[in-house]
Chain A
């Protein structure tokens, strides 16, 4: 597998697609914030995209379900769901060579 610049630099870029008034989306935001905190903002950067405000972006990323976490650096990977299973995020980040520090 060829390594991307992001991987070598040791940082990951994520987009979390959410919809308003969605319980699962709200939970995902909270869960993701907590997870990222453990990695440190310099290693994992994330952005939240509200599909109701930016439907075109959701279309481009072919988002059907919310919340969906999309890995934007490295190989394509998605996680659908509220991220209550933190292991899934850890696994996703491992794809770009980022391991939990503690």
Chain B
């Protein structure tokens, strides 16, 4: 075997081979650790059954529980261990300690008994894989540390001499503490897998992590996994990627929106539609599903917010009948409350649905109901799992997300931005007792798109997305060169927000400089000199905008006099006072209308620190 190249054995565990870039290292030792009940034995037996099917003749040493018990566990999960054993494709050897009678330890010993037994069986059955369940039980009672270390080394060394692939299970005391109870195993193993089973709020959350994989690339971090009736399943995959893998486009179902998206959505892209209740998310989701199914593609619609009859009735009421598509078998609508289904089960349900129904498009309406059913970490893992699954299978998806009216974009968890290819923001405002809905394409990866806000008009049987005459057009005209010649520094830590702000300023004729943090802002200012205006987000990651500006004001140099505009989610009187105290000339509440931003910038650029501008507030 070459030393530099790791050859691998596939495990057959859904997701694991992807996570490990091909499986466990052949001819080497792999350690699986975790607390009791994390599924170590299940994982090992699942791998054993898979490798038995590959003719690897796995030998399982049952140290912790008798072979019959292990076989039953495996049979229950459909691994058919008994069948494989009867067919001579694998063997489970009894390495439990005799139950009756005392075992006294008197003096030195080694693992000769076990190793010669393994060697004899390996020779007889031509086993290529040896599984030890578990090493913790093997070294119980626990010998002194020195002896333990040498015994374990002897074990791994002997297995390597036999040229078998070893899979060893070890107990850990804590989910995130020491890797194993014995504390010696990981040093001599080429790969370490950590299984976890934690209770998060009231939900059980299972995850797997590759703690170490010598000489091999692998995915880092915890990945959600679950134990189904068919064994362990993992939801891995890289979540981010540069571009959708295809340039093929299809309709979002909303004609005007397709125009804004420069011709529609990319074939297997993930789009997030965000907006407050009543802004039209479910209608857009329905149109998306309807358009897909009408093209003859299969669509699965997961509704997490209302029961199916109610959802169907709502679609019916807006003139978007789904019945025919449903009857044709092109549309499947599955409604379930995330609270009543564990998140892992939900992932399994989604995966099974994709495998069995083979939909081209998947709708999740809404992911917020999942967010509310778990912790932030649980939600993150779930979303990564979903994104991985969609990427892996190359499905297009539309996810809806509930946000407050006039929501703060910073409230968006950054990972959602990472997993999505496109983001469409919906909102509404009351105008003379009429509800006016707005739509904005915040992001469209790898494509031109119209960043201007548009109006969303709900009509019978669909929506109309049209340029917002009242809002965009006059502002656009004014915008054209209103800021020309001004140098504006944009300090905003969210890339999407920063880019859309810069795009707007550029259209208005300004020259822009950008910084993603207070530190970066200082660097840019030091390198490029004072701009004409600073537009500064308040909630920066490293230092808040107030403190950044206050320090610039105190600096006494040219920067002390540059007019500055605070951009923030907060519009309470005390927030405005803080802005003024820090030295900001104006305080704008996000989301800010382009026209108001431009006129505010013009105002502060003309007048040196006019105090009355802080009264020009938009938003709540």
Contact yes or no, A65 B107, CB < 8 A: no
* B448: min CB distance to chain A, Å: 69
Q: Which of B104, B105, B113, B119 contacts A64 (CB 8 A)?
A: B113
* A33: min CB distance to chain B, Å: 15
* A53: min CB distance to chain B, Å: 9
Q: Which of B95, B112, B120 contacts A22 (CB 8 A)?
A: B112
Q: Which of B94, B104, B108 contacts A88 (CB 8 A)?
A: B104
* A65: min CB distance to chain B, Å: 5
Bound together, the chains give a CA A22 to CA B116 distance in angstroms of: 12
Interface size classification for chain B: 20 to 34
List, in ascending order, chain A residues with CB within 8 A of B527's CB.
Answer: none
Q: Which residue of A lies closest to B63 (CB)?
A: A64
Contact yes or no, A82 B108, CB < 8 A: yes
Q: Which residue of A lies closest to B99 (CB)?
A: A76
Whether B199 sits at the interface, judged by CB under 8 Å, is no
Contact yes or no, A55 B120, CB < 8 A: yes
* B440: min CB distance to chain A, Å: 68
Contact yes or no, B107 A84, CB < 8 A: yes
Q: Which of A51, A67, A80 has the most CB of B within 10 A?
A: A80
Contact yes or no, A58 B117, CB < 8 A: yes
Q: Which of A18, A23, A28, A77 contacts B102 (CB 8 A)?
A: A77
**Would you list which residues of chain B between 73 and 120 have a CB under 8 Å from chain A?**
93-98, 100-117, 119-120
List, in ascending order, chain A residues with CB within 8 A of B94's CB.
Answer: 59, 62
Whether B138 sits at the interface, judged by CB under 8 Å, is yes
Contact with B along A5-33 (1 / 0, CB 8 A): 00000000000011100111101100000
Q: Which of B106, B114, B115, B138 contacts A79 (CB 8 A)?
A: B106
What does DSSP make chain B's interface, helix, strand, loop or mixed?
mixed
List, in ascending order, chain A residues with CB within 8 A of B95's CB.
Answer: 62, 64
Q: Which residue of B lies closest to A89 (CB)?
A: B106
Contact yes or no, B106 A78, CB < 8 A: no
Bound together, the chains give a CA A84 to CA B112 distance in angstroms of: 18
Contact yes or no, B105 A80, CB < 8 A: yes
From known contacts A55-B116, A62-B96, A64-B138, infer whether A92 and B104 are also in contact, taking CB-CB under 8 Å: yes
* A48: min CB distance to chain B, Å: 13
Q: Which residue of A lies closest to B97 (CB)?
A: A62
Contact yes or no, A51 B105, CB < 8 A: no
Whether A97 sits at the interface, judged by CB under 8 Å, is no
What does DSSP make chain A's interface, helix, strand, loop or mixed?
mixed
Contact yes or no, B110 A19, CB < 8 A: yes
Using a Cβ–Cβ cut-off of 8 Å, how many residues does chain A contribute to the interface with B? 38
List, in ascending order, chain A residues with CB within 8 A of B63's CB.
Answer: 64
Q: Which residue of B lies closest to A60 (CB)?
A: B94
Whether A83 sits at the interface, judged by CB under 8 Å, is yes
From known contacts A19-B116, A55-B120, infer whether A80 and B98 are also in contact, taking CB-CB under 8 Å: no
Contact yes or no, B111 A58, CB < 8 A: no
List, in ascending order, chain B residues with CB within 8 A of A62's CB.
Answer: 94-98
Contact yes or no, B120 A19, CB < 8 A: no
Whether A4 sits at the interface, judged by CB under 8 Å, is no
Contact yes or no, A51 B101, CB < 8 A: no
Q: Which of B96, B97, B117 contacts A55 (CB 8 A)?
A: B117
Whether A34 sits at the interface, judged by CB under 8 Å, is no
Contact yes or no, B107 A24, CB < 8 A: yes
From known contacts A22-B112, A25-B112, A64-B114, infer whether A55 and B119 are also in contact, taking CB-CB under 8 Å: yes
Q: Which of B95, B96, B102, B112 has the most CB of A within 10 A?
A: B112
Whether A96 sits at the interface, judged by CB under 8 Å, is no
Q: Which residue of B lies closest to A79 (CB)?
A: B104
Bound together, the chains give a CA A56 to CA B121 distance in angstroms of: 9
Q: Which of B97, B106, B119 contacts A84 (CB 8 A)?
A: B106
Q: Which residue of A lies closest to B123 (CB)?
A: A55
List, in ascending order, chain B residues with CB within 8 A of A89's CB.
Answer: 106
Contact yes or no, B113 A78, CB < 8 A: no
Contact yes or no, A83 B107, CB < 8 A: yes
**Would you list which residues of chain B between 562 and 594 have a CB under 8 Å from chain A?**
none
A-to-B contact residues, CB < 8 Å: 17-19, 22-25, 27-28, 51-52, 55-56, 58-59, 62-68, 71, 75-85, 88-89, 91-92
5 CB-based A-B contacts, threshold 8 Å: A22-B110, A58-B116, A64-B111, A66-B112, A81-B107
Given contacts A51-B117, A88-B104, A89-B106, 18 further A-B contacts (CB under 8 A): A19-B112, A19-B113, A22-B112, A24-B110, A25-B110, A27-B107, A27-B108, A51-B116, A59-B94, A63-B114, A65-B113, A68-B109, A78-B98, A78-B102, A79-B103, A82-B108, A84-B107, A91-B104
The 10 closest A-B pairs by CB, nearest first: A19-B112, A66-B112, A55-B120, A76-B101, A82-B107, A63-B113, A81-B107, A85-B106, A88-B106, A84-B107
